[in-house]
Amino acid sequence: MTRTIQQLFDLTGKTALITGGSRGLGLQLAHALGEAGAKVLISSRKAADLEEACAELQAAGIDARWVAADCAKESEIQRLADETLQRLGDVDILVNNAGASWGAPAEDHPLEAWDKVMNLNVRGYFLLSQIIAKKSMIPRKTGRIINLASIAGLNGNPPAMQTIAYNTSKGAVINFTRALAAEWGKYNITVNAVCPGFFPSKMTAGLLQAMGEENLAAAAPLKRLGDDEDLKGLCVLYASDAGKHITGQWLAVDGGVSVVTGA
């Protein structure tokens, strides 16, 4: 029997792990999945931030819990996966969102900063996806992986940004998404990417100040920055059976910025 649209988007009975879920875009995604019916576990490095975010989610009626872990470190990723599987059971939805950025001219960009960004933004995504897939998704032949990329991975830096490691990492995330989708399709695992544009957050605060929020909003066809709702719909589409035939794709959620910049 063909399901209704409400049934296709329903995540009741599903479990979701969201990295970088204590604030900003990660917390928005946790709200989206929880509001659609999923149990969620959020992770980031700081327990205090996670406690506050978890309380916010629970106040919204969401079954939420947390684990503090640094997704730049292999041992911490392994612990996060093990604790999540122990506490939630199988993971149906993995959202790789934890990320870092660094601003510096390319000619002076510190190597340790390059490694910090790449280890968290690319290596961390790969390791956590690999562990969760091997322990939970592949044996059951089902799963949804959602990777947070960025419109910064679609083209070069605007000269004022000077974030070459970040842009490089997000370009890598897009092709990681494509490659993983092609390889794991046989296990009925979908892998897709979200490419946000400019959203106010703690990580983007310095950049927005330097480039001017009003200037950035004016440059977008929709004449605004992203808000606390703008990623929700795409996230639930990718995570639910409404998107079961979508894999290896990326979509920019940027108010049209990538249209006018030629991405």
Q: What is the rounded distance in angstroms from the CA atom of residue 122 to the CA atom of residue 251? A: 18
166 catalytic residue (yes or no): yes
Cβ proximity of 98 and 71 under 8 Å: yes
Neighbours of 209 (CB within 10 A): 9
Cβ proximity of 57 and 64 under 8 Å: yes
Q: What is the rounded distance in angstroms from the CA atom of residue 117 to the CA atom of residue 124? A: 10
Cβ proximity of 237 and 246 under 8 Å: yes
State residue 248 phi and psi, 5-degree precision: 75, 20
Largest CA distance in the chain: 60
Which helix or strand (DSSP H or E) is residue 196 part of? strand 189-196
Which listed residue (125, 166, 187, 238) is catalytic?
A: 166
Cβ proximity of 132 and 71 under 8 Å: no
Which alpha helices (H) appear in the chain, and where do they start and end? Answer: 5-9, 24-35, 47-59, 74-88, 111-118, 124-132, 138-140, 164-184, 205-211, 213-219, 232-239, 257-261
Bridge partner residues of 133 (DSSP): none
Catalytic residues: 166
